[in-house]
Amino acid sequence: MTMRIPRVVPIVCAALAALAALAPATADAAPPADAEGWLDGLTDRVVADLAAGKPLVVQAHVPLCDNDVIPCGNARLGDGDRPDRNLYWATTEGFLGWFGRRGGGWQQVLDTDGAAIDEDHVLDLRVWRRELTTPAAWKRAGAPPRFTMYVVAQAWRGEQIHRAFTHYADDLYGVTTHAVTLPDGTKIAAGGDAHIVAYVGHNHLMDLAAFDWQAVAKRADARPRGAIAIACHTAIYMQDIVPGPRQVPLVLTRDFLLASAAALDGAVLGFARGGDYAAIRKGAAAGYADGGDKPLARVFGAFSNPADKRWGKPSYSRGLNLHAEVHRAAQGTAK
């Protein structure tokens, strides 16, 4: 049974700044030509794999909310050693609650833990499957009429957030890979073999003086992957460092918000249905709105990608801008 999220905990990034109202809706813009090319490259990879009979795979890293890292609302929601009661995992907007909800369209096909991938700090590992009709453009490019999508979600021990984020970065650049075996013997190429790599949790970059993305990039492979980071204010930290033809920015964020499985669901379905950046961004925002019973117009501006008019621009927070500048300077890419 999943827990409903108490309305006293709508946002959990308050340890770093005063709570802010979610950004108002902002209009979409035509993405830059190079960003359009990035999305085309990711789509080409996915279509080729679907044509070869492979599924579309989403890898999600979820460091559990932990009261020793940030305020999570109460002791129960913020016990980073208990996935079964955690804010990001067991509630209605957490992974078990959202992907396991009745009528949600997902079927759970694996319930295990980190032993399946030799990772002690992954306390719960779930896989959900969904069958989808192939977008017309993908069929014209050679994909079959229908395909399977898997979401492989790993709940990391809350105090191991740095390990979780490091694994996210490594997977996003194709440094690490692992196979997940389902009970029927099906092997899913997850980790860095996934087509989309997501991080859903507290923005660990806010805790660090810098994160060495360049060191990760030096070990990268050549395959494109969709990048998703659903945590408070990920865009200001990542938009000038990470995106490119191999790390395609599907969804980042520009405000304080809950690390929501519903937003991830909306984003990946937006892509899997053949959507452009604008559709993927709207999918993430619509999922977040549905999960939290909020008006779409109120939350839309919290989500960003190259279709957002503010893409590449500073945050409204001077403090976050200054901290993100330190991160950029550490990469040799300060602007």
Print the SS3 string covering 106-140: CEEEEEECHHHHCCCCEEEEEEEEEEEECCHHHHH
Q: Output the pLDDT for position 248.
A: 98
In angstroms, rounded to a whole number, what is the distance separating the alpha carbons of residues 87 and 13?
A: 13
Single-letter amino acid, residue 237: Y
Helix or strand holding residue 149 (H, E): strand 146-156
Total domains present in the chain: 1
Task: State the DSSP string of 195-249.
Answer: SEEEEESS-GGGGSS---HHHHHTT--S--EEEEEESTT-HHHHTTTS-SSSEEE
In angstroms, rounded to a whole number, what is the distance separating the alpha carbons of residues 119 and 126?
A: 14
Q: Output the pLDDT for position 314.
A: 96
Task: State the DSSP string of 246-297.
Answer: SEEEEEEESS-----HHHHHHHHHHHHTT--HHHHHHHHHHHHHHHHT--HH
Q: In this structure, is residue 19 part of a structural domain?
A: no
Domain interval for residue 266: 33-326
Torsion of CA 175, 239, 288, 59, to 10 degrees: -10
* Tokens, residue 288: 């977040």
Q: Output the pLDDT for position 334.
A: 44
Q: In this structure, is residue 108 part of a structural domain?
A: yes
pTM of the model: 0.94
Q: In this structure, is residue 256 part of a structural domain?
A: yes
Q: In this structure, is residue 261 part of a structural domain?
A: yes
Q: In this structure, is residue 27 part of a structural domain?
A: no
Contact present, 94 and 153 (Cβ < 8 Å): no
Q: In this structure, is residue 288 part of a structural domain?
A: yes
Q: In this structure, is residue 46 part of a structural domain?
A: yes
Q: Output the pLDDT for position 22.
A: 56
122, β-bridge pairs: 156
In angstroms, rounded to a whole number, what is the distance separating the alpha carbons of residues 328 and 59?
A: 26
Q: In this structure, is residue 141 part of a structural domain?
A: yes
* Segment-wise mean pLDDT, segments of 10 residues, the chain, 335 residues: 45 43 68 94 98 98 97 96 98 97 97 97 98 98 98 98 98 96 97 98 96 96 98 97 97 97 98 98 98 96 97 95 95 59
How buried is residue 51: exposed, middle or buried, by Cβ count under 10 Å (0-12/13-18/19+)? middle
Beta-sheet pairing, 225-230 with 107-112:
unpaired
Q: Output the pLDDT for position 307.
A: 97
Q: Which among 310, 189, 322 has a CA at the least distance from the CA of 255?
A: 310
Q: Output the pLDDT for position 333.
A: 54
